[in-house]
C-alpha cells in the first residue's frame, strides 16, 4: 500500500515540477506545457490505477 501511494505522489511531484519549469519558459512553450500537463495527468492516473491493482493483489 505504501509503495503504491509513493508511486502516485511521485507522479504528482513530477507533474508539478514539469508545470513549474514550463511556466518559467514563457509563451512560446505554452503549447508544450499543455502537452506535458496532459502527459503528467495521464502518468498520475496510470500510477493510481497501478497502485489500486497492487493493493488488490496484496490483499488476496
pLDDT at site 35: 73
Cβ contact 40:18 at 8 Å: yes
Please say whether the dihedral angle defined by the alpha carbons of residues 21, 23, 24 and 28, taken in this order, is positive or negative.
Answer: positive
- In this prediction, residue 30 carries a pLDDT of 67
Q: What is the pTM of this model?
A: 0.42
Residue with cell 512560446: 28
- For residues 52 and 11, what is the distance between their CA atoms, to the nearest angstrom? 15
Distance set, CA 31 to CA 15, 17, 39, 50 (Å): 16, 17, 13, 29
* Phi, psi angle pair for 26, to nearest 5°: 100, -175
pLDDT tens digits, 2-58? 666 676 777 777 777 776 776 666 666 667 667 777 777 777 777 778 777 777 777
Amino acid at each position: 500500500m505504501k509503495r503504491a501511494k509513493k508511486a502516485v505522489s511521485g507522479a504528482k511531484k513530477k507533474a508539478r515540477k514539469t508545470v513549474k519549469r514550463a511556466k518559467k519558459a514563457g509563451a512560446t512553450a505554452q503549447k508544450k506545457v499543455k502537452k506535458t500537463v496532459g502527459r503528467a495527468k495521464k502518468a498520475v492516473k496510470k500510477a493510481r490505477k497501478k497502485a489500486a491493482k497492487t493493493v488488490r493483489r496484496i490483499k488476496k
